[in-house]
Amino acid sequence: MQDSQKIALAGIFVLIFPIFSPNLFSPLTRSSPSLFSEWNTPRPRHLRLLQGALDRQISIRQQVELWSPLPDQGYKPCTDSNKGRLFVSLPEKSLRFLQVFLDGGLNQQRMGICDAVAVAKILNVTLVIPRLEVNPVWQDSSSFEDIFDVDHFLSILKDEVRIVRELPTEYAWSTREYYATGIRATRIKTAPVHASAEWYLENVLPVIQSYGIAAVAPFSHRLAFDNMPESIQRLRCKVNFEALSFVPHIRKLGDAIVDRLRHPPSISQTSGTIDPTDRINTIVKAGAGKFVVLHLRFDKDMAAHSGCDFGGGKAEKLALAKYRQVIWQGRVLNSLLTDEELRNKGRCPLTPEEIGLLLSALGFSNNTRLYLASHQVYGGEARISTLRKLFPVMENKKSLASVEELADVEGKASLMAAVDYYVSMKSDIFISASPGNMHNALLAHRAYLNLKTIRPNMILLGQVLVNKSLDWSEFEGSVLNGHKNRQGQLRLRKEKQSIYTYPAPDCMCKAQQ
């Protein structure tokens, strides 16, 4: 009888335990890993290179070149959209309205806002401040007004496009909820990806003329990059680089973080002892008061979607495979290739360990102040530990700002990303571990202002990192040779490429000699 009672109690415990600790039994969610599915602590995968990085000798010349600003590249920003204008001028008053509903993260929404202004200009109608959808991944309901300075936005664009904060009373019915409950004549659902200006004139303008309003949803990537009038291209850049300014409290927090990065309590506040020689002093001085922003971009979504192996063992492989199956129903083309094939093609995101090796090979010393711009790192602190060993002076929002200072942005992914974007724009160097929306947005914005941005050579790195016999000097030489022209050198946009990644030559003019 006693044994049966024990068995019964054990059964009850098993049934109710998940109620109190649900995260331990949820390996398929987008949150942190489950204890029982991904308990293997990821270990360093490149021990030989790691030891070489820790023992490396720093070149003074390399340090000075690394921290030097980019030379003038012969281009300057130009957003005068009046030049080459092919559309009618701004009407004094418009009773015709365009609405757009934007999904995605901060940087995807940013591109959508620029396109919305451009489409309103093409149609010569009034734009309603874009509605930002609730982010399905992070459940962030931040609005346009929560992120961007609306007064500044309206002021910069007042002579370009008529924009209103909200619809007049007679159109108050035109809401996201209204369009979600049925088929509506005023909703445009068929806008093709990269639609032409003519498509909007032929398909959206008639709806606005008939009903006084049209709502385009979905709207992400719904305006072409090619065959656009110069005035429209420059208007898009004017919105992106001049009109979209973050709200004051984000700028204030960002400025405080930047100030603390540039003026730490002690320049020698690192682990280890600084050799008091002229050589080392020169190296320290080269990077004094400077910092680099690293966007790790290594979350569970990316890890799973890549189909790559990241050294977490069978438990991690199984968890990522299940995640892919549930989230994308197995539709991950990369999963058909082997890990080595993926790495040779440059399709595997760099782990924190690998980006640390890259930074070391590029010449960053262990005194470098490294600011991490990331929402969440898959594997947590265990995954970051090797990077921290290489760069002990590693900071983020929470290490540099107080709980009170972070109160307005805590738990809001878009606002947290906005702070990181702002700090990234103030950094001496920006580098992203893998391509993506934030990488592309900052690559463009920093190119526009001629700021140094390092673009990892993913194919090269994938190929050298699978070679386990490579010693440090060979790895360092390959990295330096493969990144000579990937540190902010201006690249002109090619056909079909995004103007939000390559602003020249559409929005940048050749400087007069």
Give pLDDT, residue 504. Answer: 96
* Cβ atoms 457, 482 nearer than 8 A: yes
Edge-first strand order for the sheet with 291-295 is: 394-395, 369-372, 291-295, 429-432, 452-454
Give pLDDT, residue 140. Answer: 86
Report domain extents, the chain.
47-73+249-298+349-510, 97-245
The DSSP H or E segment spanning 295 is: strand 291-295
* Confidence (pTM): 0.86
Q: Is the dihedral of CA 465, 468, 469, 471 positive or negative?
A: positive
Give pLDDT, residue 15. Answer: 43
Q: In 3D, which of 141, 136, 137, 133 has the Cα closest to residue 30? A: 137
* Cβ atoms 500, 440 nearer than 8 A: yes
* Cβ atoms 365, 287 nearer than 8 A: yes
d(CA 75, CA 510): 4
Can you point out the beta strands (E) in 32-110? 75-77, 97-102
d(CA 396, CA 475): 29
Region of 313 (left: φ > 0; alpha: ψ -120 to 50; beta: rest) is left
pLDDT in tens, 271-312: 444 454 554 455 455 567 899 999 998 888 888 888 888 888
97-245 is classed in which CATH architecture?
3-Layer(aba) Sandwich (3.40)
- Kindly state the percentage of the chain with pLDDT values over 90: 64
Distances from the Cα of 59 to the Cα of 271, 275, 421, angstroms? 20, 15, 31
Which amino acid would we find at residue 334? N
10 Å CB burial of residue 489 (0-12, 13-18, 19+) is middle
Report the DSSP beta bridge partners of residue 246: 148
d(CA 513, CA 195): 38
pLDDT in tens, 23-70: 443 443 433 444 434 545 678 889 999 999 999 988 888 889 999 999
Enumerate residues 6+ apart whose C-beta is below 8 A from 90.
159, 160, 161, 162
Give pLDDT, residue 18. Answer: 42
450-488 in b/e form (b: 16+ CB < 10 A) is: bbbbbbbbbebbbbbbeeeebebeebbebbeebbeebbb
* Cβ atoms 280, 310 nearer than 8 A: no
* Cβ atoms 310, 351 nearer than 8 A: yes
d(CA 98, CA 119): 9
Give pLDDT, residue 16. Answer: 46
| Residues lower than pLDDT 50 in the chain | 10-37, 39, 84-88, 267-274, 276, 279-280, 283, 513
* Cβ atoms 446, 440 nearer than 8 A: no
Q: In 3D, which of 69, 423, 70 has the Cα closest to residue 261? A: 423
The pair of three-digit structure tokens given for residue 170, joined into one six-digit string: 């007679």
Give pLDDT, residue 135. Answer: 72
Give pLDDT, residue 350. Answer: 94
Give pLDDT, residue 269. Answer: 42
| One-character DSSP codes across 309-353 | --S-HHHHHHHHHHHHHHHHTT--GGGGS-HHHHHHTT-SPPPHH
Which amino acid would we find at residue 501? T
Torsions phi, psi of 342, nearest 5? -65, -45
d(CA 337, CA 342): 6
Give the helix ranges, DSSP H, for 23-69. Answer: 47-54, 60-67
